[in-house]
């Protein structure tokens, strides 16, 4: 059996498959919470970790700069962790990543602020965010591959869509925690001490995730690869760069489209609702929670659509839907339409591209190099897009509130073009299947 082929999967999801999916999704949601809760409290952290005489806009930009540093740390951390995932096993890396996320989150919750240690406070915060960035760099590609290799090939889109919904549940946990704090504590109390609560909770959540992942089993695909150690490659990422260059650009573009949806909907818009559109923090976080619930639904629907029509066709469809939904949201805010929460929900539903991209990405690389290939492209592209997009959109919004819509439209068009080219290439090759060819028990394709 070639290292580019996978064992022939069962036609249906078994009870063990559902258990694996549930544990992976729950652990991933707790880890994503640990990473994203920083963004929900960016305004508060800008007051806590930087000099009080600094202009508000500059403190906010500096805080988002530290947030972006977490993304910039993803490529190196992800590549190193992916190397061991392809060489030593998916499960080991899967447990390490969540531990590396939980400990810094707990540390942020107990660390001194600018008032206590001066300029060392933002530097320490930066160091902790870099460790978290390295952790999430291993988490997302590892989760995609771990779940995909456990699932039947014909249900790969569905299970990855459910996994993405589980991961985005971490965003919802962050939004709900922020909304709860805004209701229970006064703004002064939050700045004084209550901002620590979500990070302390995150540390506890992360440790729970470490414990949960003890019950996961190694994927059958890696087990089969491990049994043929002669086929193992000493440096998988170099093999990706040497032998699979044609997959790199599509993977980078897919990441850009996914990032546009997540950053615009979840990271930037809650802040702009407060700064640009004058909403209270509790209302802004509550609306963000509604959007994330519908984003979860959109991920699952997107994955199912991908199984029905093919991953690349689903990428084209949802690349077009994403800017339309974001456009309706910002039109409702700019023109003061009634029921902005409904528009936010529609935007979340239209961002189902988040649940569609993983199936296309997993199919781009062979099993022996899969984690390294996805990690290299996804984390590098995500670092560029996610570190620059919040700063760019926040800086451009004072000149035009439509900046986020224009950005999503450009990325959506690029996603449609890439999907059309990839689909045409696959039809020309004589295969309409978006997944890696399966191998039946007798060894035939």
Tens of pLDDT, residues 160-194: 998 888 887 887 788 788 888 888 888 889 888 88
CATH number for 350 = 1.20.1250.20
Q: Is residue 272 part of a domain?
A: yes
For every residue of 219-230, DSSP letters joined together read: -HHHHHHHTTGG
Q: Which two tokens stand for residue 228?
A: 């043929």
| Domain contains 277 | yes
d(CA 429, CA 425): 6
Domain-located, residue 220: no
The residue among 156 and 75 whose pLDDT is bigger is 156
For residue 3, the 8-state DSSP code is T
- Based on the structure, what is the number of domains in the chain? 1
Comparison of pLDDT for 174 and 89, the residue scoring more: 174
Specify if 284 maps to a domain.
Answer: yes
What span, in angstroms and rounded, lies between the C-alpha atoms of 197 and 184? Answer: 12
Q: Is 441 domain-assigned?
A: no
278: left (phi over 0), alpha (psi -120 to 50) or beta: left
Please tell me the predicted confidence (pLDDT) of residue 367. Answer: 80
Q: Which two tokens stand for residue 343?
A: 């528009």
User: Measured between alpha carbons, how far is 354 from 172 in angstroms, rounded to an integer?
Assistant: 15
Average per-residue pLDDT for the chain: 79
Least confident of 94-108, 360-374, 383-397: 383-397
Domain that holds residue 388: 15-215+245-425
Residue 3 located in a structural domain: no
Tell me if 21 sits within 8 A of 150, measured CB to CB.
Answer: yes
Are the C-beta atoms of residues 275 and 331 closer than 8 Å to each other? no
- Do residues 36 and 266 touch, judged by C-beta distance below 8 A? yes
At residue 434, the pLDDT reads 38
Q: How confident is the model at residue 327, as a pLDDT?
A: 93
The Cα 85–Cα 137 span in angstroms is 12
Residue 225, in any domain of the structure? no
Least confident of 138-142, 155-159, 194-198, 261-265: 138-142
Report d(CA 296, CA 291) in Å as an integer. Answer: 9
Q: Which of 104-118, 233-247, 267-281, 419-433 has the lowest mean pLDDT?
A: 419-433
Residue at 70 is within a domain: yes
């Amino acid at each position: 059996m070639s290292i580019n082929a996978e064992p022939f999967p069962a036609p249906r999801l078994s009870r063990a498959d559902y258990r694996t999916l549930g544990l992976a999704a729950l652990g991933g949601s707790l880890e994503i919470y640990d990473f994203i809760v920083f963004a929900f409290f960016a305004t508060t952290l800008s007051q806590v970790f930087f000099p009080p005489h600094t202009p508000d806009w500059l403190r906010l930009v500096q805080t988002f700069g530290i947030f972006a540093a977490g993304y910039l740390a993803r490529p190196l951390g992800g590549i190193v962790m992916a190397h061991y995932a392809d060489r030593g096993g998916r499960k080991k890396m899967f447990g390490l990543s969540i531990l590396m996320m939980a400990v810094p989150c707990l540390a942020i919750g107990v660390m001194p602020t600018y008032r206590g240690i001066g300029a060392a406070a933002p530097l320490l915060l930066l160091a902790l965010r870099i460790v978290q960035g390295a952790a999430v760099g291993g988490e997302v590609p590892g989760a995609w591959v771990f779940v995909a290799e456990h699932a039947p090939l014909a249900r790969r889109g569905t299970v990855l869509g459910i996994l993405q919904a589980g991961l985005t549940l971490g965003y919802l946990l962050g939004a709900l925690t922020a909304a709860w704090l805004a209701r229970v504590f006064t703004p002064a109390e939050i700045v004084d001490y209550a901002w620590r609560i979500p990070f302390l909770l995150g540390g506890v959540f992360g440790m729970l995730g470490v414990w949960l992942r003890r019950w996961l089993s190694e994927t059958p695909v890696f087990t089969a690869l491990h049994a043929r150690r002669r086929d193992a490659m000493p440096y998988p990422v170099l093999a990706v760069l040497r032998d699979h260059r044609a997959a790199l650009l599509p993977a980078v573009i897919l990441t850009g489209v996914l990032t546009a949806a997540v950053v615009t909907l979840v990271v930037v818009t809650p802040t702009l609702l407060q700064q640009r559109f004058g909403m209270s923090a509790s209302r802004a976080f509550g609306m963000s929670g509604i959007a994330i619930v519908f984003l979860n639904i959109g991920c699952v629907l997107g994955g199912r659509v991908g199984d029905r029509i093919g991953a690349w066709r689903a990428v084209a469809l949802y690349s077009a839907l994403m800017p339309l939904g974001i456009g309706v949201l910002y039109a409702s805010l700019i023109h003061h339409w009634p029921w902005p929460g409904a528009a936010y929900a529609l935007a979340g539903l239209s961002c189902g591209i988040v649940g569609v991209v993983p199936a296309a990405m997993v199919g781009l690389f062979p099993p022996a190099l899969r984690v390294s290939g996805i990690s290299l492209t996804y984390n590098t592209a995500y670092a560029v897009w996610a570190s620059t997009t919040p700063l760019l959109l926040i800086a451009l919004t004072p000149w035009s509130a439509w900046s986020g819509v224009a950005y999503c439209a450009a990325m959506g068009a690029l996603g449609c073009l890439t999907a059309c080219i990839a689909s045409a290439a696959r039809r020309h090759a004589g295969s309409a299947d978006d997944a890696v060819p399966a191998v039946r028990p007798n060894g035939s394709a």
